[in-house]
C-alpha cells in the first residue's frame, strides 16, 4: 500500500496513476472513461474494469481502517505507559520522601537525647557542687 495504490502525489489526487487512473486495455482508465461511443464488448470490458477498481478501493479502505485501528491501539498503549511511568516516578519520590522523613526523625530524636544527656550532666555537677558547699 503506497502512493501508487491511492494515486496520491504531493497531497493531491493523481488521476493518471493509482486505482482510478491506470489504463486497462481499450477502455482506458476508470477516471477518464467515456462510454458514449462504446460497443457492447467495450461496455462489458469497462464494467469489469470498474468492478476491479471498486474491489481495489474496498481493499484499500479496509487497509486504511486496519491501520487506523492499530494507530488507536498504539495511542492507548502509549497513554497507559505514560500514566504508568508517572505513577512509578511518583512512588519513587514518595519513597524517597519517606526515607528522608525517617532520617530527620532519627536525627531529631538523637538531638533530644543529647540535650537530655547534657541536662542530666549539668544537674549532676550542680548536685555534686552542692554537696561540697554544705
Give the pLDDT of residue 95.
78
Mean pLDDT of the chain: 81
17-57: per-residue pLDDT in tens? 777 777 666 667 777 778 888 888 888 888 888 888 888 88
Torsion of CA 111, 113, 117, 122, to 10 degrees: 60
Name the more confident of 119 and 133: 119
pLDDT above 90 for 69: yes
Global pTM value: 0.50
Where in the chain are the domains? 3-133
Q: What is the spatial distance between Cα 30 and Cα 93, in angstroms, rounded to a whole number?
A: 64
Residue 57, judged by CB atoms within 10 A of its CB (0-12, 13-18, 19+), counts as middle
What phi, psi does 33 have (nearest 5°)?
Answer: -65, 130
Amino acid at each position: 500500500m503506497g502512493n501508487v495504490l491511492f494515486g496520491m502525489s504531493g497531497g493531491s489526487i493523481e488521476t493518471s496513476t493509482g486505482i482510478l487512473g491506470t489504463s486497462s486495455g481499450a477502455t482506458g482508465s476508470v477516471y477518464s472513461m467515456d462510454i458514449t461511443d462504446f460497443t457492447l464488448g467495450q461496455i462489458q470490458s469497462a464494467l469489469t474494469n470498474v468492478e476491479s477498481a471498486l474491489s481495489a478501493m474496498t481493499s484499500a479502505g479496509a487497509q486504511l481502517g486496519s491501520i487506523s485501528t492499530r494507530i488507536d491501539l498504539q495511542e492507548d498503549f502509549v497513554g497507559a505507559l505514560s500514566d504508568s511511568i508517572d505513577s512509578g516516578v511518583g512512588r519513587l519520590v514518595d519513597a524517597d520522601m519517606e526515607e528522608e522523613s525517617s532520617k530527620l526523625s532519627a536525627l531529631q530524636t538523637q538531638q533530644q537525647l543529647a540535650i537530655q544527656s547534657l541536662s542530666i550532666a549539668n544537674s549532676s555537677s550542680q548536685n555534686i557542687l552542692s554537696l561540697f558547699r554544705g
